Structure 1
Amino acid sequence: MQASEAEWTDIEKKIARTAFDKAYEREIEALLKQVQKQASTLVDLGELWQLHDFLSAKRHEIEGKYDYQYSVLLFVFAGLVKEGWLHLNELQGLDKDKLSKVAVLSRM
């Protein structure tokens, strides 16, 4: 099964959406904590601009990573599993082939 050819049932779509949103929330929560910590220690304008640059890069990274198109969703899930934002067990209920593909891709 090619990822771009995978059919998604209504149940799989709900599971995927929940898992996707959960991973996004985790990453954003971690980012907020990191930024709050960094912001609390700022002492000069140079550090403020460094924080700005960090946030700009993170925004670009996160907006590119969280792509909810079914044709690429298995790859997105694999990346999120690899980075630790998503756990394979949160995808239970997806087709066996989809789960296998995510598991294999996440180990690459």
Structure 2
Amino acid sequence: MLTMPLSETQWSPTEEKIAKTAFDTAYCREVASMMAEVKRQAQGATNPDELWKLHDFLSARRHDLDGKYDFRSSMLIFVFAQLLKEDWLKLGELEGLSADKIAKIKALALI
């Protein structure tokens, strides 16, 4: 049962470090995947339309990433749940967070 409102979640200094490491790890994974896709598309581009399609892809991905990776303490539970769902983060990478936070993240991620 979720007992603490998500917006009032408090993070200890140790949990903040764990959260930052997990956050950065997931971000790097997703950006590396995106970069590989950009390289693949760029190598296959043979005309201006394909170049503009790549531009549109990058613009959309930047918008998506900017919205998803929000390190405000009030948003981290939601961010981590989404990253777990999308497989950019593994549950074990959140080890050290309180049991309550892990339970909330798991419930939101449906795992």
Q: Hey, what does 1:60 align to over in structure 2?
A: 63
Measured after TM superposition, the shift of residue 49 of structure 1 is 0.5
Root-mean-square deviation (Å): 0.9
Measured after TM superposition, the shift of residue 3 of structure 1 is 1.3
Q: Does 1:106 align with 2:94?
A: no
TM-score, scaled to structure 2: 0.95
Q: Hey, what does 1:24 align to over in structure 2?
A: 27
| 1:37 partner amino acid | R
Q: Hey, what does 1:43 align to over in structure 2?
A: 46
| 2:103 partner amino acid | S
| Partners of 1:12 and 1:19 in 2: CA distance | 10
Instruction: Give the secondary-structure state (helix, strand or coil) at the position aligned to 1:63.
Output: helix
Percent identical residues: 51
| Partners of 1:49 and 1:94 in 2: CA distance | 43
How many residues get paired?
108
Instruction: Give the secondary-structure state (helix, strand or coil) at the position aligned to 2:71.
Output: coil
Q: Does 1:4 align with 2:42?
A: no
| 1:73 partner amino acid | L
Of the three residues 82, 96, 110, the one matched with 1:79 is 82
| Partners of 1:3 and 1:72 in 2: CA distance | 8
Measured after TM superposition, the shift of residue 56 of structure 1 is 0.4
Cα shift readout 1:62-101 (whole Å, capped 9, x = no counterpart): 0010000000110000000000000111001000010011
Measured after TM superposition, the shift of residue 6 of structure 1 is 1.0
Contiguous gaps of at least 5 residues in structure 1:
none
* Runs of 4+ displaced beyond 3 Å: none
Measured after TM superposition, the shift of residue 2 of structure 1 is 1.2
Contiguous gaps of at least 5 residues in structure 2:
none
